[in-house]
Amino acid sequence: MVIRANGRLESGVYRRPGTVKSHDKSRRSGVPPSDGKVSAGPSEAVVAVARSARPVYGELEEPIAAPEMPTGRAYTVSQCAVRDLFHTWGLDKSRFGSRDWNPLGVFCRPGCKIVLKPNWVSHRNQTGGDLDCLITHCSVISAVLEYVAIAQPEYVVVGDAPIQSCDFAVLRREGGLDCLVADFRSRGIDLRLCDFRRTVLHGEKLGAGRSESLRRDVDYVRFDLRAESLLEPLAEDASKFRVTVYDPDLLRRTHAVGRHQYLVAREVIDAEVVINLPKLKCHRKAGVTGALKNVVGINGNKEFLPHHRKGGSAQGGDCYAGNSVLKRAAEALLDRANRQDPGGAQRFLAQLADAALRAAKLFGADDNLDGAWHGNDTVWRTCLDLQRILRYGQVDGSLQELPQRKVITITDAIVAGEGEGPLAPTPVPSGFLTGATNTAAAEWVNTRLMGFDPLKIPLVREAFGDFTHRLAQFEPDAIRVLLGAADERRLNAIY
């Protein structure tokens, strides 16, 4: 059974209305032939969807039999949902229901190196609400780790690069991560928790102190995509590249005509399998954050991450729509502030910028000064560059012709986030997980399940683009969605 596409269900295949099936078999064959380094596994054009018992995290009302688990039971909503997802996906299908069931074994050979990449964007929800709709829930991470452990890896790294102001110690405590690590280590699993950031701010506003170079240069692999970067078409105006709360001069060193550098955590590039564990949310800049945007957290320093271009659309920028003199003044003040060392001068300039923005609002402008609108034509390019590095990147900083590791995406949408994501989302009790071996396919389906048109979101639409080191060797109309039996019966009754 497949997801509904504008009212059309067609032979198990998502078909965009008005399109014709491609006859280019090279684009519909999934992953290129393996060189032996990674397992092919299920088709990359398949996305599995599993509904959770309830759209909340916590214990099941009654545990269910799960012979493959250490206790023979699944006790949490997340454990049950992850188990159902792997079953729906058809992983190790012949042994399901036995103690020998090893669903991740098709991807993970014994002794392999595995990285789990959750969304740990921040230690607090700026709405004042809880973390359930903000970060990948600890119980989902734990449930996936149960099956990772069955695959017998050499070690497992769980890591992310949160925003600079994130207090990682608070995140570990409030997110239940310290208890998770202690539990799996007590069972003999070599589990490592990593903060991939090099720079941390000691506060949430300009003027606060910062710690630099928290990790060594050797802990990263530097990639330069040069003219193959998706940012290259914008590079003639590279001086306009910006990322919030960061010195724009540093971005000029990493992104210019023919130079587009990224600094990726070595743990990710060393891994044979990366399990991408995003939280599904709306995103003010990218539209949605899930399978595709989540990979920004493998980069260690923000000076490598253009998120928008200075100026309004009338001046060739994409920070905001149109032309606002007061917003331009606020941008100039923020540039001066970001070039300052932390302290009183930086704080004063930031306050002046805030005053200019408030004045702009009095004349009818919105409060967007960081590329948070649908005309942002920069952030999707950065995200997809990093996706290409994740898929094809090698430890010497080059991109190879074939995929260098298996990337599995399991999206946590048991509680999703809407509104002012990624930092101030409000909860949506969505009650599902999705699983895929292709991030573009995963996000296409995630976006449809959110009720959005993927063709209107550049990050999702362009993930199927015809560029070098492609992310998908098939068109969106080839995507097949696997549903559990209960959802098949429900959709059959409706359609």
pLDDT in tens, 273-290: 999 999 999 999 999 999
Q: Is 45's pLDDT higher than 50?
A: yes
What is the Cα–Cα distance from 290 to 136, expressed in whole angstroms?
A: 10
217, 256, 253: which is closest to 236 by C-alpha? 256
pTM for this structure? 0.91
Q: How confident is the model at residue 460 (pLDDT cuts 50, 70, 90)?
A: very high
CA neighbor of 177 nearest in space, from 121, 139, 149, 150: 139
Rounded Cα gap, residues 8 and 11, in angstroms: 10
Nearest CA among 352, 348, 345, 312 for reference residue 330: 352
DSSP assignment string, 453-493: -GGG-HHHHGGG---SS-S-SS-GGG-EEEE-HHHHHHHHH
| pLDDT band, residue 204 (cuts 50/70/90) | confident
Interval 33-44 mean pLDDT: 57
The set of residues, in sequence order, having a beta carbon less than 8 Å from that of 89 and lying 6+ positions away, is 42, 46, 48, 103, 435, 482
* Average pLDDT of the chain, as a whole number: 90
* DSSP at 179: H
**339-370 pLDDT, tens digit each:** 999 999 999 999 999 999 999 999 999 999 99
427 vs 447: CA distance, rounded Å: 16
What pLDDT sits at residue 288? Answer: 98
Kindly report, residue by residue over 72-108, the tens digit of the pLDDT: 999 999 999 999 999 999 999 999 999 999 999 999 9
Q: Which residues contact 193 (CB under 8 A, 6 or more apart)?
A: 157, 158, 159, 172, 177, 181
pLDDT of 207: 78
| Residue 22 pLDDT grade (very low, low, confident, very high; cuts 50, 70, 90) | very low
User: What is the predicted pLDDT for the residue at 4?
Assistant: 36
The per-residue pLDDT for range 141-155, each reduced to its tens digit, is 999 999 999 999 999
The pLDDT of 213-227, averaged and rounded, is 97
Question: Between 254 and 39, where is the model more confident?
Answer: 254
Tokens 């595995």 correspond to what residue? 114
pLDDT for the residue numbered 362? 93
> For the residues 461-471, what does the mean pLDDT come to?
97
Predicted local confidence at residue 41, as pLDDT? 67
Q: Per-residue pLDDT tens for 371-418?
A: 999 999 999 999 999 999 999 999 999 999 999 999 999 999 999 999
Q: Which of 459, 494, 308 is CA-nearest to residue 386? A: 459
Q: Considering only CA atoms, give the Rg of the chain.
A: 22
